[in-house]
Amino acid sequence: MTTEDSKIKQPAKGKLTYRFLGGAALGTFAPLILISYALPIDWNSVTIGATLLFAICCGLLSSIWGKNFIDAAIRVLNSFGF
């Protein structure tokens, strides 16, 4: 067994970028769903920061776990009846 066999293959940078963008797009659906149901949202700097942080976290989780995270997030959204 050589050391080349024990190396873990890393995904290409382009694939990670697409995964991140897909997760970030998925993370923006939560505030959009709230807006579509006409819930009153006070868009101050804290709310906007929390929304951006949520989208970035979803993007990072999808770039780490890939399709598993996106599938789980889609199942959660489906369980709410959206």
User: Considering the domain boundaries, does residue 24 fall inside one?
Assistant: yes
Q: 52-80, pLDDT tens digit by residue?
A: 999 999 999 999 998 898 888 888 878 87
HSE-CB of 41 using CA atoms within 13 angstroms: 18
Angle of CA points 65, 45, 30, to nearest 5°: 40
Close Cβ partners of 63 (under 8 Å, ≥ 6 residues apart): 16, 19, 20, 23
Q: Are 62 and 22 in contact (CB under 8 A)?
A: yes
User: Considering the domain boundaries, does residue 59 fall inside one?
Assistant: yes
User: Considering the domain boundaries, does residue 7 fall inside one?
Assistant: no
User: Considering the domain boundaries, does residue 25 fall inside one?
Assistant: yes
User: Considering the domain boundaries, does residue 3 fall inside one?
Assistant: no
Q: 8-55, pLDDT tens digit by residue?
A: 666 677 788 888 998 898 888 877 777 777 677 777 888 888 889 999
E strand spans, 16-67:
none
User: Considering the domain boundaries, does residue 2 fall inside one?
Assistant: no
User: Considering the domain boundaries, does residue 40 fall inside one?
Assistant: yes
Please tell me the total count of domains within the chain.
1
Place of tokens 């769903």: 33
Residues written for the chain: 82
Per the structure, the complete domain to which residue 16 belongs is given by: 12-79
